[in-house]
Each structure stands twice: as C-alpha cells, then as structure tokens.
Structure 1
C-alpha cells in the first residue's frame, strides 16, 4: 500500500511540475506585432510556421533566418527575432 501512495504522490508531482503547454499563436503575435507593425499577423504566422517546419526538418537556425529574411524582405536582425520567437512560442 505504501508503494501505491508514493507512486501517486510522485505522479502528482510530475504533473504539477511539468512544463506548461506550448504557447499560443496569440502570445507569439503579441510579442512580435508591436515591433513589426509593417507585417500582418498572417505574414508573421506563416513565416513562424515555416521557420518551425524548417527547424524540425533539420535546417540550421542561421539558414532559417536567411529564409525568413528573404521571404519577408526584412533585415537579418528582424528575421532572427521572428525565428527565435517562433521556436519558443510556435514550435
């Protein structure tokens, strides 16, 4: 019986301490739209999702940044910010 109690407590702690659910598109946009008001929400989401797909396919982050920069015609710094936020919030 004691083993069951320990197992139940352990399971409860694992659930309580688990990482929060993946962030939402709204959080991603809330962080980026004020900085890049010249881009639409749709443009930011599409590029964020493309960056996630590229990263999950094994594309290196610098290459994903170049892709986003070329796609949107933006600076490397802005593209790096978008890829970084996408990786943190969308992927």
Structure 2
C-alpha cells in the first residue's frame, strides 16, 4: 500500500495535464492568499483578463476539482460571484 507522497501522486495520476495545471495554479494562489490573511478566492478575480476560451476552461477545471473534493465552492444565488476555498487535499497534493 502506498504511503505519504506516493499515495498523493497515485491519487491524481489519471488527471489531464490541464486539470493538474489548474490545481497547481490554485494551490499556489491559495498559498499566496494565506500570507495576506485570505483563505477565499473569487471566480471573478480568477477570470479577470482571461479570454472567453481560457475562462471556460478554468470554470470547467474548477468543477472537476470540486467533484474530486479538492476545493469547496459557494454561490449565494444564481449569477452571484462564486467563492472558492481550498480543501486539505489540494494543499497537501503534489501536482
């Protein structure tokens, strides 16, 4: 049975390169935000200055990471901003 880093690598070994890249990107952003005392990112801030294609891909990969329980997302009501919070799995994983 794998342990430590090996089990974390095996857990996300079937991921696409795009999912892995977005997970690493979010992991880095959350590490930076913690330094500034924030633990939440807004989808609006993630998608600012992105093309429609880039924004669509980011949104999709966010859904993938939510489905796999790497992030938590909240949205108060339809069309409100979406807030993203890291789960321990995201912060402990090696991408």
Decide: shared fold, TM above 0.5: no
Rg (Cα) greater in structure: 1
Question: Is the helix fraction higher in 1 or 2?
Answer: 1
Question: Is the strand fraction higher in 1 or 2?
Answer: 2
Q: Structure 2 length as normaliser, TM-score?
A: 0.39
Q: Structure 1 length as normaliser, TM-score?
A: 0.40
